[in-house]
Amino acid sequence: MAIILNGKELSKKVKLRVKREVEKIKGRKPGLAVILVGEEPASKIYVKNKIKSCREVGIRSFPYFLPQNVKTYELLELIGELNASEEVDGILVQLPLPEHIDKEEVINSISPQKDVDGFHPCNMGKLLGGGEGFVPCTPLGIKLLLDYYRISLKGKDVVVVGAGFIVGRPLLALLLREGATVSVCHIHTKDLKKYTKEAEVLISATGVPHLIKEDMVREGAIVIDVGIRKVGDRIVGDVDFERVKEKARAITPVPGGVGPMTVSALLLNTLKAYGINLELKELWHT
């Protein structure tokens, strides 16, 4: 029976640590601008959670709810203002954006110093090149969770399923930086099981419910489930949790695993944009 990697609990600890740090700040507190375009229900929930988490730790949030039919240039104008604002340290544009909006232009318009999502090519490039930029929140959240449970990535055979822009690709760069040997699988991979069976650490980020079955997992593997999908009134991940947990050494639940860690990573990135780079080592074993 696997150890459950409890992102919900760890995220509470991280928030407490961030809160303490924000309380110490005299004068202007850190500020995060959150832009949501349209009415997508899942995106609305994510944005609501992010704003709530900011409030809990004393980070000021500046929400912008824009209509579905907003034009790219209008979004760029707003981002220009936020880039120039002295009240705003971080800018987050909730993805996905509606089809008619030029996502690349929008991401590129965010100042790399305020790009707390880490998707600007400057930050993605630094992640690949080894520089010190913003690491996208979900990969960073996964790293925090693994660190907390003292799971090292160095020299490990890691398989990532899913090569999306938000998770799979930046995760590949982060894992390489940590010294892992990484294979990335995706929809065109011919024999998925051949790869997943070999993984010491298996990370799935596809959004396909229960794609990862017990027979696809190596005995004693570490299994990280990033997927989030609503099925009926339940939230399910990519991994067949009930069966896989019998075989894995450690596993994240959905919900309560990677999701809360993504929000924690956002708070840390916002503090970093403000100028505070929190070392969390002291948290890990208290």
Q: Which stretch binds ligand NAD (CB under 6 A): 26-34, 47-55, 115-123, 205-213?
A: 205-213
Answer for which of 123, 206, 264, 270 binds ligand NAD (CB under 6 A) is 206
Could you give the C-alpha distances from 190 to 168, 174, 186, 242, in angstroms and in order? 18, 25, 9, 26
Helix axes 168-177, 137-148, angle to 10 degrees: 40
How far apart are the C-alpha atoms of 204 and 196, rounded to whole Å?
10
Catalytic residue among 89, 94, 225, 247, which? 94
251 binds ligand NAD (CB under 6 A): no
Residues in the interface with ligand NAD (CB under 6 A) total 26
Answer for which of 211, 217, 224, 250 binds ligand NAD (CB under 6 A) is 211
Q: What is the tally of helices (H) and strands (E) in the chain? A: 11, 11
Could you tell me what percentage of the chain is helix, strand and coil, using 3-state DSSP and rounding each to the nearest 5? Answer: 45, 15, 40
For residue 223, give the 3-state DSSP assignment: strand
Adjacency order of strands within the sheet including 222-225 = 3-4, 250-251, 222-225, 201-204, 157-161, 181-185
Contact predicate 147/284, CB 8 Å: yes
**Residues between 216 and 245 with contacts to ligand NAD, criterion CB under 6 A:** 226-229
x/- mask, ligand NAD, residues 86-125, rule CB under 6 A, reads ----------------------------------------
How far apart are the C-alpha atoms of 52 and 60, rounded to whole Å?
10
x/- mask, ligand NAD, residues 136-175, rule CB under 6 A, reads --x----------------------xxxxxxxx-------
Min CB(80)–ligand NAD separation in Å: 26
256 binds ligand NAD (CB under 6 A): no
> Which chain residues interact with ligand NAD by CB under 6 A?
138, 161-168, 185-187, 189, 192, 205-208, 211, 226-229, 258-259, 262
